[in-house]
Amino acid sequence: MCGIIGYIGNKQAYPILIDGLKRLEYRGYDSSGVAILNENKKTSIYKSKGKVSELEKYTSDKDVCGKIGMGHTRWATHGEPNDINAHPHQSANGYFTLIHNGIIENYSNLKKRLENRDYVFKSETDTEILANLIEYIYIKGKVSAEMAVRLALTKVVGAYALVISCKNEPEQLIVAKNSSPLIIGIGQEEYFIASDASPIVQYTQSVIYLNDKDIAIIKRDEFSYKTIKNDILSPKIEKLNLGIGAVEKQGYDHFMLKEIFEQPSSILDTFRGRIAADFSKIYLGGLLDVMPKLIKTKRIIIIACGTSWHAGLVGEYLLEEFTRIPVEVEYASEFRYRNPIIYKDDIVIAISQSGETADTLSAIKLAKDKGATVLGICNVVGSSIARETDAGVYTHAGPEIGVASTKAFTAQVTILTMMSAMIGKEKNIITEDKYKKLILELISIPDKIKKILLLNERFKKIAAMYKDANNFLYLGRGYFFPVALEGALKLKEISYIHAEGYPAAEMKHGPIALIDKKMPVVVIATKDKSYEKIVSNIQEVKARKGIVIAIVTEGDKTIKEIADHVLEIPKAEASLVSLLAVIPLQLLSYHIAVMRGCNIDQPRNLAKSVTVE
């Protein structure tokens, strides 16, 4: 994880770096630091444990003048969060200064080799080892800084996004990437380097997405781009098409709240250009080339982590219902380490908001090596997963900055619904009528979400009643089991209350033992084919004095009589209700966490983009 930012140009670097670090703080927030090259070609490094605001305080009386610099916000992997382990790191003789996002896997070997050559390390980080490896090659080989970096990187196993400066060649920054994200923004005689577009968008829309094992040598007036093996490349300049509003809170107290309220419009953005004007057809351009394979495949495997995995579970129900293709949903981290059976005609779908999750990325590589066709459902355009997959579809939900995922989930489920309908139609599993009805139902979802959002104050009142609970149970059946898991995850992530999601019928095989008068049980109990059964499950909870908060279909009278609280959501086609039922759960978690004084957008120990395995 970690966020990195760099600047070289004619403006003062410090404000750009600090502003960038604040925008990247969602990636890691246990310590941060900056390095700035001043007019006398001296590099000043300032680091501080804690959030970027601590760094700002620490630097308030320091000299931060200079037009070249780099900054880093850290999520600790090697070494505890403290000032020494914070980046930037400098090589022992001060030749190289660098920041790093990723993990050097063979750090221990490299460290031993350097220790044998009398190198001594101040920090516990893998990054300091790399800084010294570069320096060692630079001094020993009497080569240029660029060459020392390239040679060092050929010896590195692992993931990195790097910004490097050399004291003897001060007017340049060297950047390199492998499996961790890195973007270069191009301004007027200035360049911005960052982990993602959020710190760049206010300065320029022209960007280069670095490819793995590529390196760029950046001066104010010169830019060269090559592989680490020194093959010269011509960079592909792309347009961001992102407004600054997309990465600001725009009056909301937290990004998470903004993102919850954005869902009616983010789902419309997911539809955009993909549903015919007369609502007769779904058109996912990214799937057209692979449609013949999708129609023939005997199996789909979905791989993902976290909330994206929950979306994958909803996808399993959707794909099996509408396409009759058997689907398996796997945690990417489990899938890749258990020698999975993968056939050449399997279709693997990788789901990821960030497009950078290390486990998902490695699982994709494994599936590709075994000959499967891999599709991606990603939110971040140009991300590693989007580029690693054979084909795919962007969710276009816009930047998601709150660490707890909300609008990405509904966008992913929207894409999975569209995908299922499109394949089901091609395979003649669903009729023309059913297909059109599904499209009409789908396009009515944003307005139905708007209606649910109007009930925000009511969710807040219920949150106030249960904010001090120690445990929560979430129950759902069928399509709502993944929603129960997602509701529990949201609560855990941001309020630190222990919560479990369970298939409602399984409750009696264990969790029922936990139920007493202190246990709030959130049940997704909208009208569908298992309605009667879920009503029985609610009775079972009530018989043990549990507190039932039920998500019900508008106008439901039966559950109103038994549950302690009912939260009504509009009626919708059963396969689409997960898009609605998740909204009250997101808001409930949000309000509980606010009332408990938690850090909503940056919960402890978590990071938005998990680029370590």
Distance of closest approach, residue 253 Cβ to ligand G6P, in angstroms: 19
Binding ligand G6P by CB under 6 A: which of 101, 172, 263, 357? 357
Residue 118 parent element (H or E): none
Closest CA to 375 of 440, 486, 297: 297
Closest CA to 407 of 257, 551, 271: 257
Shortest distance, position 110 Cβ to ligand G6P, whole Å:
29
**Is 24 near ligand G6P (CB under 6 A)?**
no
The catalytic position among 22, 49, 258, 608 is 608
Shorter beta-carbon distance to ligand G6P: residue 549 or 588: 588
- The tokens describing 446, both together, are 């944003």
Q: Which helix (H) or strand (E) holds 225?
A: strand 222-227
Please state, in angstroms and rounded to a whole number, the distance separating the CA atoms of residues 205 and 242.
7
Span 295-354, contacts to ligand G6P by CB under 6 A? 305-308, 352-354
| Distance between CA atoms of residues 423 and 307, nearest Å | 24
Q: With respect to ligand G6P, which residue has the nearer C-beta, 485 or 519?
A: 485
The phi, psi pair for 461, rounded to 5°, reads -65, -40
Q: Binder to ligand G6P among 360, 417, 495, 575 (CB under 6 A)?
A: 360
- Least separation, in Å, of the C-beta of 106 and ligand G6P? 25
CB of 331 to ligand G6P, least distance (A): 10
Would you count residue 403 as binding ligand G6P (CB under 6 A)? Answer: yes
> What minimum distance in Å lies between the beta carbon of 311 and ligand G6P?
8
- Residue 305 C-beta: closest distance to ligand G6P, Å: 4
384 binds ligand G6P (CB under 6 A): no
CB within 8 Å of 499: residues ≥ 6 apart: 471, 472, 473, 474, 487, 488, 489, 491, 492
Q: Which of 73, 566, 608, 611 binds ligand G6P (CB under 6 A)?
A: 608
DSSP 85-101: TSSPEE-TTSSEEEEEE
**C-alpha pair distances (Å), 495 with each of 100, 400, 498:** 30, 19, 9
601 three-class SS: coil
Residues 85, 98: Cα–Cα separation, whole Å: 13
How far from each other are the two terminal CA atoms of the chain, in whole angstroms? 10
- Say whether residue 406 binds ligand G6P (CB under 6 A): no
The residue among 223, 191, 230, 228 whose CA lies nearest residue 211 is 228
Q: 103, 89, 193: which is closest to 134 by C-alpha?
A: 89
Shortest approach of ligand G6P to residue 389 CB, angstroms?
13
Residue 2 appears among annotated catalytic residues = yes
The reply to whether 490 sits near ligand G6P by the rule CB under 6 A is no
Is the CB of 397 or the CB of 523 nearer to ligand G6P?
A: 397
Catalytic residue among 2, 166, 305, 378: 2
Which C-beta is closer to ligand G6P: that of 48 or that of 357?
A: 357
Instruction: Tell me if 195 contacts ligand G6P by CB under 6 A.
Output: no
Number of residues that bind ligand G6P (CB under 6 A): 15
By beta-carbon proximity to ligand G6P, the closer residue of 135 and 601 is 601
Nearer to ligand G6P, 174 or 332 (CB): 332
- Of 43 and 333, which has the nearer Cβ to ligand G6P? 333
SS3 2: coil
Residues with active-site annotation? 2, 608
Chain contacts with ligand G6P (rule: CB under 6 A)? 305-308, 352-354, 357, 360, 403-405, 606, 608, 610
